[in-house]
């Protein structure tokens, strides 16, 4: 079956712009989580959605927002981009919320470069 799809795969933006990243989960999966990965900070949790509801949110400023649609696809938006937002953004999908213990499947990520 098809895996988790993230678009775009690569993105270059300038400071002050905004960006929207998309994540299509595996068919039938209703839970989507977003993560930011940088060489300095490592992997950090952004959001967790299940059935269109945000269940948990990481410690990121309000410039980072997300949503999940009725077909379980999810988008993440970052407004007023800063240089420090340059990172690999990963999403993961699973049948149920992460704590249920089911297998989480990660996408390949979107690499964002802010100039």
Q: How buried is 94 (Cβ within 10 angstroms: 0-12 exposed, 13-18 middle, 19+ buried)?
A: buried
Q: Count CB neighbours of 14 within 10 A.
A: 10
Is 8 a binding residue for another protein by CB under 8 A? The answer is no
Contact 98, 46 (CB under 8 A): no
Q: Produce one character per residue of 36-56: b if its CB has 16 or more CB atoms within 10 Å, e if not.
A: beeeeeeeeebbbbbeeeeee
Q: Which is nearer to another protein, 33 or 72 (CB)?
A: 33
Which residues between 25 and 54 bind another protein (CB under 8 A)? Answer: 42-45, 48
Q: Minimum Å distance from CB 107 to another protein?
A: 6
Span 51-110, contacts to another protein by CB under 8 A? 55-59, 90, 92, 98-99, 101, 103-109
Report, in Å, the least distance between residue 92 CB and another protein. 7
CB of 99 to another protein, least distance (A): 5
Number of residues that bind another protein (CB under 8 A): 23
Determine contact, residues 49/55, Cβ cutoff 8 Å: yes
Q: What is the binding site for another protein (CB under 8 A)? A: 4, 42-45, 48, 55-59, 90, 92, 98-99, 101, 103-109
């Amino acid at each position: 079956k098809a895996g988790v799809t993230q678009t775009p795969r690569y993105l270059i933006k300038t400071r002050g712009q905004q960006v929207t990243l998309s994540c299509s989960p595996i068919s039938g999966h209703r839970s989507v989580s977003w993560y930011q990965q940088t060489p300095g900070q490592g992997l950090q949790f952004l959001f967790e959605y299940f059935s269109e509801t945000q269940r948990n949110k990481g410690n990121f400023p309000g410039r980072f927002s997300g949503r999940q649609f009725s077909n379980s696809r999810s988008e993440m938006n970052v407004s007023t981009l800063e240089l420090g937002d340059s990172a690999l953004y990963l999403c993961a999908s699973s049948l149920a919320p992460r704590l249920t213990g089911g297998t989480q499947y990660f996408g390949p990520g979107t690499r964002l470069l802010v100039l």
